[in-house]
Amino acid sequence: MKVLFTVSECVPFVKSGGLADVAGALPKELRSLGTDIRVILPKYGGIPHGFLSRMKKKKEFFVSVGWRNQYCGIEELQHDGVTYYFVDNEYYFNRDRMYGYFDDGERFSFFTRAVLESMEALDFYPDVIHCHDWHTAMVPFLLKTEYQGRPGYEFIRSVFTIHNLQFQGIFPKGVMTDLLGIPDHYFHPEYLEFYGNINFMKGALLSSDFITTVSPTYKDEILTPYYGEKLHGVLRQRTNQLQGILNGIDDEVYNPEEGPIPFRSGNLEGKTKTKLGLQEKLNLEVNENIPMVSIISRLTVQKGLELVRGIFHEMIQENVQFVLLGTGDWEFEQFFREMESQYPDKVRVKIGFSEELAKEIYAASDLFLMPSKFEPCGLGQLIAMRYGVLPIVRETGGLNDTVQSYDEVSKAGNGFSFKNFNAHDMLYTYRRALDFYHHDRETWKHIVQTAMNKDYSWAQSAFKYNQLYADLVSRSESHVF
């Protein structure tokens, strides 16, 4: 089985969020199942030099972007047994950031055609092209409406994965007609038109042979107006070709047994040492009996931080230490900075991101707060549990599918959760968790063991993706829209 992964970011090359973690981990797992998996992504300026210097130019050709022809280089890199192709065009991708430019519509229109043209140039026609999020969403659309008529492309099946329905790639009509070269009649509500503009994500939802999202609960949620981001109607037409497949984490990257001070579920001494070390480093009281509560997150509305803001003063009255790492919306960054200066003995806030510090905080913490408003899957809670940190989450999306709130009667559960998007429900849950920590250490340890012993790896999900690919390839008919 030949699969081409098309994605806009990928660990260890470039990352802005969980999408990159998935693109970094899933191909490796699929490869171990015998799939010929290759990954194609833009060659951004920010890719570390060590990788850039190892890339080898495979092909050069021109890609039409409307009436212009743009240079496109395809560079290859082998890494961890997976083949990566980087789409090279200095003008579009050699910039400081990955996204957020006035011409993102043009940049990803170019990328779309570059991906499709690269198949012929490389003579690599995959059985399945697997696209992720809006940046790559026009690939299935152009495949269906244009490329499938060309030799080599006829039998390629497409899978589109929604990692976050909130970002859809909405642009003026000209992006469709002048840049992607798509005929005018597709500017229609049944196709790409979306409230007066065009919508890349909609294009994929209509045209891909199969749609997946990153958890079963999110799959159900996005069919409703509250979570559907105005696309629930389109998604409802595709319920027979829609599946939620839970993300995993790379258990080689996130492995408490391989950290600077290793530990495992049977022996948590190393975890305690890490905590004492971090307390010292952060200039907090060094005391293993003060629970450390952490947030490691993009600081955005999605992550439910307004709940934390709403009751922060109450939360911090408890005997706790609070550590935050992340960047994002200015209003949240500013709020947490203020909290740090108001509660200097208890609060530490690091605005920024460092993989190393993140791992140290996971290893040291006791509780992990993730009260998301919506959460397609969420990786933080999985990493937390692997490091013996009990998550406090809202029951939405992947949080609902991976965290089971501790139940005193059955003694089952690997964390704590609450249902409504309500700050006081969260506060109640937080106090409940702390109660176990301070007054029932046996139960606390039991929940930590349960959390650490569960399998959060990619193995099962990779198997499901592989099955899905095989299924699609074996069908004689592809999706008609």
Binding site for ligand GLC (CB under 6 A): 17-19, 22, 163-164, 214, 247, 375-379, 398
Instruction: Give the residue carrying structure tokens 């999020």.
Output: 133
**For residue 293, what are its two tokens?**
């509560």
Q: Which is nearer to ligand GLC, 24 or 203 (CB)?
A: 24
Which CA distances in Å does 446 have to 320, 401, 410, 415? 21, 20, 12, 11
Nearest of 370, 408, 418 to residue 390 by alpha carbon: 370
Q: Which is nearer to ligand GLC, 136 or 164 (CB)?
A: 164
Q: Which is nearer to ligand GLC, 247 or 279 (CB)?
A: 247
Which CA distances in Å does 58 have to 7, 13, 55, 121? 19, 19, 9, 9
> In one letter, which amino acid is 394?
R
Q: Which is nearer to ligand GLC, 30 or 214 (CB)?
A: 214
Nearest of 168, 201, 203 to residue 188 by alpha carbon: 203
At closest approach, how far in Å is the CB of 215 from ligand GLC?
A: 8
Q: By Cβ distance, which residue is nearest to ligand GLC?
A: 18
At closest approach, how far in Å is the CB of 144 from ligand GLC?
A: 24
At closest approach, how far in Å is the CB of 296 from ligand GLC?
A: 13
Q: Which is nearer to ligand GLC, 55 or 382 (CB)?
A: 382
At closest approach, how far in Å is the CB of 393 from ligand GLC?
A: 12
Asked if residue 368 lies in contact with residue 344, where contact means CB atoms within 8 angstroms, the answer is: no
At closest approach, how far in Å is the CB of 28 from ligand GLC?
A: 16
Q: Which is nearer to ligand GLC, 244 or 291 (CB)?
A: 244
Cβ of 472: how many Cβ atoms within 10 Å?
19
Helix (H) or strand (E) holding 75: strand 68-79
At closest approach, how far in Å is the CB of 130 from ligand GLC?
A: 13
Q: Which is nearer to ligand GLC, 144 or 163 (CB)?
A: 163
Which CA distances in Å does 81 have to 29, 31, 78? 11, 8, 6
> In one letter, which amino acid is 464?
K
Q: Which is nearer to ligand GLC, 42 or 244 (CB)?
A: 244
Q: Which is nearer to ligand GLC, 377 or 433 (CB)?
A: 377
Asked if residue 398 lies in contact with residue 377, where contact means CB atoms within 8 angstroms, the answer is: yes
Tell me the pairing of strands 68-79 and 82-88: antiparallel
**For residue 250, what are its two tokens?**
């790379």
At closest approach, how far in Å is the CB of 399 from ligand GLC?
A: 9
Task: Give the whole-angstrom CA distance, residue 190 versus residue 330.
Answer: 38
Could you give the strand order of the β-sheet that contains 170-171, starting from the edge strand earlier in sequence? 170-171, 197-199, 193-194
At closest approach, how far in Å is the CB of 364 from ligand GLC?
A: 23
Task: Give the whole-angstrom CA distance, residue 100 versus residue 22.
Answer: 21
At closest approach, how far in Å is the CB of 300 from ligand GLC?
A: 9
Q: Which is nearer to ligand GLC, 291 or 380 (CB)?
A: 380
Tell me the pairing of strands 197-199 and 170-171: antiparallel
Task: Give the whole-angstrom CA distance, residue 64 versus residue 307.
Answer: 47
At closest approach, how far in Å is the CB of 471 from ligand GLC?
A: 22
Q: Could you give the angle at the alpha carbon of 355 between the alpha carbons of 351 and 360, nearest 5°?
A: 90
